[in-house]
Amino acid sequence: MERLEDVVLFVRTAALGSFSGAAREADLAPSRVSAAIQRLERELGMRLFARSTRSLRLTQEGAQYLPFAQSIVDTLREAREHLERQAGELTGTLQVAAPSDLGRNLLLTWLEEFRREHPALGVRLLLSDQVSDVFRDPVDVAIRYGQMEDASFIAMPLAPDNRRVLVASACYLSRHGRPQAIEELSRHHCLVYQLQGRPHDSWHFESDGRRHRVEVEGALLSDDADVVRRWAIAGQGIAYKSWIDVSDDVAAGRLEVVLPGYAGEPVPLHLVCPHRKQFTPVVQALHRLLKTKCAALPLPSGTLARSA
């Protein structure tokens, strides 16, 4: 009879497309995963994967077996969640992917509080500004900025009114002057963020019902949003940041809002999971906490706050 552990490893190997990926997720040696798949194949009397040195793909029999195996895994998870609800205690391991700046400067503290409330729960936090594929990457949920146009996953709002804002340090503004109009940004040192190889150097704004776009330049560019924020604090230039990422810095006086009469691009924050079945009690509890924390953040003053 098939071992449940082997069935689970088969499902994750099929989802991730590699023994090594499933092994990392389960904290096992790749040889253990390979042995589990071979054992399952012997029990079933069929090949589940076609293997080569370059690829791993499901055979026809493997593709037919996968939905039944997935159903077994889903049933086990639902049973565990039912028992957890009855016991009132959250257990297991929650894997969360989040942007670098938000993760380091806010989410770390929020997750510490979450763990104090649920000490039997483990958390794996994966920080990267690269967009996580919640269907293939080993994560349960992802925290994402931006408009969620893909209807293939579930996006639950955390901060739907969040926008970008221009910020700089008092040191930079005293040396280079405070811009009085959006067009003056082209004459300033702007700190450029790069995502997926593309510099984010076209900045968009709204003011008095009009849309504005300005092309910016700067000597400093990074694909890590937290680095851009730190450069701004160090007086290296003007940054165009999510308000959530810099609200604490503005409150503490490390940064100042520049041109508050111009509303930056909307960047709503969401908690994303692949489908409704993964909106588990753990994810529901995390969603409640994060939504409460985001709602408690101060709003920027001036026209920007009214526009957001």
CATH number at residue 54: 1.10.10.10
Give the per-residue pLDDT at 129.
Answer: 75
Whether 174 and 252 map to the same domain: the answer is: yes
Find all residues with CB under 8 Å of 112, minimum gap 6, and list them. none
Domain final position from 65, 86, 107:
86
Cα–Cα dist 171/287, whole Å: 38
Find all residues with CB under 8 Å of 71, minimum gap 6, and list them. none
Q: How far apart are the first and last CA of the chain?
A: 58
Give the per-residue pLDDT at 52.
Answer: 82
- Determine whether 188 is exposed, middle or buried from the number of CB atoms within 10 Å of its CB (0-12, 13-18, 19+): buried
Does residue 147 sit within a domain?
yes
Contact 22, 34 (CB under 8 A): no
DSSP state at residue 113: H
Does residue 12 sit within a domain?
yes
Helix ranges, 167-296 (H): 170-176, 225-233, 243-252, 281-295
Does residue 308 sit within a domain?
no
Please provide the size of the chain in residues: 308
Whether 213 and 175 map to the same domain: the answer is: yes
CATH label of the domain that carries residue 119:
3.40.190.10
Does residue 58 sit within a domain?
yes
The range of the structural domain enclosing residue 30 comes to: 4-86
Cα–Cα dist 118/88, whole Å: 10
The tally of domains found in the chain comes to 3
Give the per-residue pLDDT at 149.
Answer: 63
pTM for the whole structure: 0.68
Does residue 214 sit within a domain?
yes
Whether 101 and 173 map to the same domain: the answer is: no
Each residue's pLDDT tens digit in the chain (308 positions)? 678 889 999 998 998 888 888 888 888 898 999 999 999 999 999 999 998 877 889 999 999 999 999 998 888 877 877 766 655 677 888 989 899 899 999 999 999 999 998 998 999 998 887 655 545 566 788 898 987 665 567 888 999 999 999 999 999 999 999 999 999 999 999 999 998 789 999 999 998 889 999 999 899 999 999 999 999 999 999 999 999 999 999 999 999 999 999 999 999 999 988 776 667 888 889 999 999 999 998 877 544 443 33
Q: Count Cβ atoms below 10 Å from residue 292 Cβ, excluding itself.
A: 11
Whether 93 and 131 map to the same domain: the answer is: yes
